[in-house]
Chains A and B, each alone.
Chain A
Amino acid sequence: MSMADVPLSWYLILSALLFTTGVVGVLVKRNPIVIFMCVELMLNAVNLSLVAFGRYLGDAGGQMLSIFVMAVAAAEVAVGLGILIAIFRLRDNINVDETNTMRG
Chain B
Amino acid sequence: MILFLIIAAIALATALLVVLNPNPVRSALFLVVNLFCIAGLYLLLNAYFLSAVQVIVYTGAIMVLFLFVIMLLNLGTPDRSLNKLKAQAPLAVLGGLILAGTLVWAVTKGAPPIALPTEPMVGLDTLGSPQGIGKTLYDPKKPWLFPFEVTSILLLIAVIGSVVLARRSYGEEASKS
Contact = CB atoms under 8 A, between A and B. Distances in A.
A102 interface: no
Contact of B161 (A31, A44, A79): A79
A64 B47 CA distance: 11
Contacts of B177: none
Contacts, number: 224
Interface in B70-87: 70, 72-73, 75, 79, 82-85
Contacts of A41: 15, 18, 31, 34
Nearest to B51: A51
Contacts of B61: 74
Q: Is the interface of B mostly helix, strand, loop or mixed?
A: helix
Closest 9 CB pairs of A and B: A75-B158, A82-B165, A27-B92, A16-B103, A82-B162, A24-B96, A25-B19, A20-B100, A55-B45
27 contacts: A1-B121, A3-B4, A13-B107, A14-B12, A23-B96, A28-B92, A30-B83, A31-B75, A34-B79, A40-B58, A44-B58, A51-B47, A52-B45, A55-B47, A58-B117, A60-B127, A60-B136, A63-B127, A63-B128, A70-B54, A70-B57, A72-B151, A74-B62, A77-B65, A78-B158, A81-B66, A83-B165
Interface of B: 1, 4, 8, 11-12, 15-16, 18-19, 24, 27-28, 31, 34-35, 38, 41-42, 44-47, 49-50, 53-54, 57-58, 61-62, 65-66, 69-70, 72-73, 75, 79, 82-85, 88-89, 91-93, 95-97, 99-100, 103-104, 107-108, 114, 116-117, 120-121, 124, 127-128, 132-133, 136-137, 144, 147-148, 151, 154-155, 157-159, 161-166, 168-169, 172
